[in-house]
């Protein structure tokens, strides 16, 4: 492609051409969600789903033997790990393990950005799940967790495309951080929507990626409001590619819509600080 074509055009051309190896959503995650929703007592079925992926199985075992969950004796089987962790925590760990592998790049600078982006995505998912639980939104915890984890997926596909362009160009090919940040800000919502649609995910998740920066939010869209508030809380703590420590969570429209108290928001910040410290 000619060098005078804009970077954004080149990104779009690469994605549309099919030459970019797009990240895919692990189908085992949705199958696990279905298994938990329909019959959470079938531990054997869930165990088999996990055992189809060695990386996921290893992560489940690692978590079950971590200091936070560790019991009197080490866990050596996936079945015993499921019992110790509980079904919902197993599901979240499975999602995190499968998604984390996507956040890799050949270019060192982009690799650092993807590391920051992953920390923001995973922390936002954690914050969204916590908020849903503390706001007594029964049945929304997992939707909010996955929505928070995937809300910035458009930034992932953009950075993956730039990484591929850099790899195929001359060594002196450079992209200014200003231009890249401008593209990320302007297009990541629509890019994320397209990617999640290509994964055939439920429309709720696609719309979270598309609308988490929209000027207005429908008052009955509680999961989106929770994901947006979780996103703002992680940005306030300086996590991600566009941190903003000046955010006042209590003054956000999401906090007003959800009727969150200042005490709850203070607890959220403390919880996230502890979470980030343990993840460091």
Summarised one tens digit per residue, pLDDT across range 88-105 is: 788 788 778 778 888 989
Place 213 in a pLDDT band, splitting at 50, 70 and 90. very high
- pLDDT tier at 65 (50, 70, 90 boundaries)? confident
| Phi–psi pair at 202, nearest 5 degrees | -55, 145
Of 103, 102, 82, nearest to 93 (Cα)? 82
What is the model's pLDDT at position 227? 98
Tokens coding 276? 């980030």
Looking up residue 169, the CATH number of its domain turns out to be 1.10.3210.10
Q: Are residues 79 and 203 in the same domain?
A: no
**Domain endpoint, select from 91, 120, 141:** 91
Cβ proximity of 249 and 265 under 8 Å: yes
Question: pTM of this prediction?
Answer: 0.83
Assess whether pLDDT exceeds 90 at residue 31. Answer: no
Is 148 among the domain residues? yes
Instruction: Quote the CA–CA distance of 47 and 14 in Å, as a whole number.
Output: 39
Site of tokens 């959220």: 268
Do 41 and 127 share a domain, yes or no? no
Tokens representing residue 155 in the block: 């930034």
- Whether residues 244 and 142 share a domain: the answer is yes
What gap in Å lies between CA 104 and CA 26, rounded to an integer? 16
Which domain, by its residues, includes 166? 102-280
Of the candidates 112, 127, 98, 100, the one whose C-alpha atom is nearest the C-alpha of residue 240 is 112
User: Comparing C-alpha atoms, which of 17, 46, 44 is closest to residue 33?
Assistant: 46
| Sign of the CA dihedral running 197, 25, 213, 163 | negative
Cα 112 versus chain centre, distance: 17
Name residue, tokens 């995650």. Answer: 29
- Are both 187 and 226 inside the same structural domain? yes
91, 110, 134: which is the final residue of a domain?
Answer: 91
Checking if the pLDDT of 214 tops 70, the result is yes
> Does 97 map to a domain?
no
> What average pLDDT does this structure show over 106-130?
94
């Amino acid at each position: 492609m000619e060098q005078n074509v804009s970077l954004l055009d080149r990104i779009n051309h690469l994605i549309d051409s099919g030459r970019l190896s797009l990240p895919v959503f692990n189908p085992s995650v949705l199958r696990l969600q279905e298994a938990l929703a329909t019959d959470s007592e079938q531990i054997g079925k869930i165990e088999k789903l996990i055992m189809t992926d060695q990386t996921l199985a290893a992560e489940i075992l690692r978590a079950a033997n971590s200091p936070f969950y560790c019991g009197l004796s080490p866990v050596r089987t996936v079945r015993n790990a499921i019992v110790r962790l509980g079904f919902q925590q197993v599901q979240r760990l499975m999602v995190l393990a499968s998604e984390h592998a996507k956040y890799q790049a050949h270019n060192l600078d982009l690799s650092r950005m993807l590391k920051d982006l992953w920390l923001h995505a995973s922390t936002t998912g954690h914050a969204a799940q916590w908020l849903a639980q503390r706001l007594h939104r029964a049945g929304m915890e997992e939707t909010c967790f996955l929505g928070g984890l995937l809300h910035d997926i458009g930034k992932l596909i953009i950075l993956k495309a730039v990484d591929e362009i850099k790899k195929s160009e001359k060594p002196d090919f450079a992209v200014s951080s200003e231009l890249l940040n401008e593209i990320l800000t302007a297009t990541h919502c629509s890019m994320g929507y397209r990617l999640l649609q290509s994964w055939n995910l439920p429309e709720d998740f696609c719309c979270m990626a598309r609308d988490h920066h929209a000027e207005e939010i429908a008052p009955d869209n509680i999961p989106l409001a929770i994901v947006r508030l979780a996103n703002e809380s992680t940005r306030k703590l300086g996590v991600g590619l566009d941190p903003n420590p000046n955010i006042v969570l209590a003054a956000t429209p999401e906090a007003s819509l959800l009727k969150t108290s200042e005490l709850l928001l203070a607890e959220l910040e403390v919880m996230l600080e502890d979470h980030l410290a343990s993840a460091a």
